[in-house]
Structure 1
Amino acid sequence: MKKTIKPVLLLLVALLLTMTAACGKSSKSDELTTVKFSEVIRSIFYAPHYVAMSQGFFKEQGLNVDMNTAQGSDKGAAALIAGTADISMVGPETTIYIYNQKGDKTLKVFHQLTAKDGSFLLSREKIDNFKWSDLAGKTVIGWRPGSSPQMVLNSQLTKEQVAGVNVITNIASPAMAGAFTSGQGDFIQVFEPVASTLVKEGKAYYVASLGEDFGPYPETSYVATSDFIKSHPDIVKKFSAAVSEGAKWLNTASDDQIVSALRPYFEGTSDDLILQSVNRYKAQGTWPTDPELTQAQFDVLQNVLVENGVLKAEDKIGKMEDVVDMSFVQQLGKSK
């Protein structure tokens, strides 16, 4: 009888241990806090964010990021106001627009992801020794009015004193490449990996980087409502920490590691184009080592908005702190 009972008891003990271990894993997973996140578009321009997801940096901070693509900063900002997103990756200008509307809610930038414009100018015909004056009398497929890439292009043309350029701004971003390959426009302004894909397919020629030619510009930020930041400072701090880890990782990872990390977010894009896109953005200093939006960068932003007629000079934000909260990235700096 004893010989029969002992194996049964051992089996029960093993089963209980297995169930306990399983419950432990389940409870750990349940501890993750879900953050509703909206990205402006899908682009390798935002590689540090995808790295933070694929490498588990968000999970290490106890966060589960539920991501969707808004297809526009205006839509990403609207999602914050409506409460369908907790955090959005958008142009920082959206915080100024919302603030000046004097509504019930305001938005604040809490992390600066990119320090340059991320678009590239491609031409239908091969051009040796491209000059911005080559755009005079030509048609460019560009971005919607008031968006960062549209304003940066316009300001670049103003700086270069180029007139007579027809910039098409009413084509939805997912349809821009298709419109160009079907014969519309002489030039197109696109982000990676679309730019490298069009070039590789022989459908366009690379001529210029808006990021390099225009210079420093705070194009993409992480933004949340003032209420969310006040109510959930722990989530904002952890989110910022995870993205910072993603940016650091990109600077030390091997080519194979980078491709492996980004491949799930760019299905249909070849490994060589993923890597080429990352290296192109790295070369122009896209991702700052310090993700703090400075007063100087904020001044550049507001000057561009005024120059493009989307902000009156008298409506400039006098105190950056009204739409910016850099306390979380400053805490990251102190913890290094």
Structure 2
Amino acid sequence: MKMRKPACLLLTAVLLALAAGCGTAAPAATSTTQPVAAGQGKKDEALKTVKFSEVIRSIFYAPHYIAMQKGFFKEEGLNVDMNTAQGSDKGAAALIAGVADISLVGPETAIYIYNQKGDKTLKIFHQLTMKDGSFLLSRNKTDSFKWSDLQGKSVVGWRPGSAPQMVLNTKLLQEKVAKVDVITNIASTAMAGAFTSGKGDYIQVFEPIASTLEKEGKAHYVASVGQAFGPFPETSYVATSDYIKNNPETIQKFVNAVAKGTKWLNTAAPDEIAEALTPFFEGTPKDIIVQSIDRYKKQDTWPAVPELTAEQFESLQKVLIENGVLKQEQKVADLAAVADMSFVKNIGKAGK
């Protein structure tokens, strides 16, 4: 596999750039606020606004969008001002620079920041997903896919050090598949376009892009990377240690709202789910949203108890070391140094 730069170096560059700009530059490409019902304006003035940065826009993070659309954050007294960072490094940088209060990123970012021994540290407080959220699609139809089919082929993939890139690389190592050209220098927003223009034999994408490419006849589904790899703590809610210390009630309310979103998602009818998610995926047909949700449910993406355990943390660091973005001596021995699971443990009974 082609590896260009460890994620920690890329993250450092972003942090330095933000510091040079005094934290005034917005790290995200898009912004979304919660829907406001008629006559609700005065009531909403009392809500506490949380500046939130998501890593990318994907149905992989459906519980969060559900919590926004169904008013679960508002029930907890919060107004979520959401931006899309297009990268865990940018989401982490936004926290350090103070332009975001909470970010949804790969938990490895908390490890990278911790090892930099800077003035600020990040802490994971809610584990949203427990599988990789990407799917492997091929340009040509494959009747019976085997990982060895990737031998000598090219894959339009994710940036070096990102969770989906590392999970795919580790899977290839496990399967002893060599000489795979994983293209890692294409921006996530441009990956599908590059593939449809002829780049790569395969592409690794999240939903709803995977189902959209299939429906358009531009790619063929071959494997769920998450299902093939197994449990992996891919995406977490993270905030600075200072923000968590100074705003424990806000963090608890945030966690409660997401838990309500997860519970609703696991019990609602497919059409109801599609209707709730449509505002966040304008132009995406309902059947694509339904199929995307079904795929993520089948691979048990969203844990019933959103806790990052010591065992899962160990698995995460093993993958980081195997991919060369973390040295053995940089392993964080104490989960509590980069995570605070007390809020998850205090979720109301309805959220468990």
Normalised by the length of structure 1, the TM-score is: 0.92
Alpha-carbon separation, structure 2, partners of 1:252 and 1:65? 24
**SS of the residue 1:149 aligns to:** helix
1:58 and 2:73 aligned: yes
Maintained 8 Å contact 2:122/2:241: yes
Q: Quote the offset at 1:319 in angstroms.
A: 0.4
Normalised by the length of structure 2, the TM-score is: 0.88
The 5 A counterparts of 1:268-307 are 268-307=283-322
Match 1:121 to one of 100, 112, 136: 136
Alpha-carbon separation, structure 2, partners of 1:198 and 1:45? 17
Listed one character per residue, the Cα deviations across residues 72-97 of structure 1 (whole Å, up to 9, x for unaligned) are 00000000000000000000000000
What amino acid is the match of 1:268? G
Q: How many residues align?
A: 313
Residue matched to 2:261: 246
Alpha-carbon separation, structure 2, partners of 1:305 and 1:334? 34
Residue matched to 1:49: 64
Alpha-carbon separation, structure 2, partners of 1:150 and 1:27? 46
Alpha-carbon separation, structure 2, partners of 1:278 and 1:201? 19
What amino acid is the match of 1:251? N
Listed one character per residue, the Cα deviations across residues 149-170 of structure 1 (whole Å, up to 9, x for unaligned) are 0000000000000000000000
Identity %: 72
Say which one has the larger Rg: 1
Listed one character per residue, the Cα deviations across residues 300-319 of structure 1 (whole Å, up to 9, x for unaligned) are 10000000000001110010
Q: Quote the offset at 1:255 in angstroms.
A: 1.6
What amino acid is the match of 1:304? V
Match 2:179 to one of 160, 164, 167: 164
Listed one character per residue, the Cα deviations across residues 163-182 of structure 1 (whole Å, up to 9, x for unaligned) are 00000000000000000000
Match 1:33 to one of 16, 28, 48: 48
Residue matched to 1:260: 275
Residue matched to 1:198: 213
The 5 A counterparts of 1:177-216 are 177-216=192-231
Alpha-carbon separation, structure 2, partners of 1:334 and 1:198? 40
Residue matched to 1:70: 85
CA 1:181–1:331 in 2, change beyond 3 Å: closer, same or farther? same
Listed one character per residue, the Cα deviations across residues 81-116 of structure 1 (whole Å, up to 9, x for unaligned) are 000000000000000000000001000000000000
1:86 and 2:101 aligned: yes
What amino acid is the match of 1:325? D
Alpha-carbon separation, structure 1, partners of 2:44 and 2:207? 34
What amino acid is the match of 1:192? E
Q: Determine which structure has the larger helix proportion and give its number.
A: 1
Structure 2, unaligned stretches of length 5 or more?
A: 1-38
**SS of the residue 1:306 aligns to:** helix
Question: 4+ residue stretches of structure 1 with deviation over 6 A?
Answer: none
Residue matched to 1:325: 340
Over aligned residues, Cα RMSD in angstroms? 1.1
Alpha-carbon separation, structure 1, partners of 2:40 and 2:136? 49
Maintained 8 Å contact 2:256/2:348: no
Q: Quote the offset at 1:28 in angstroms.
A: 2.5
Q: Quote the offset at 1:30 in angstroms.
A: 1.4
1:111 and 2:121 aligned: no
Alpha-carbon separation, structure 1, partners of 2:329 and 2:57? 35
Structure 1, unaligned stretches of length 5 or more?
A: 1-23
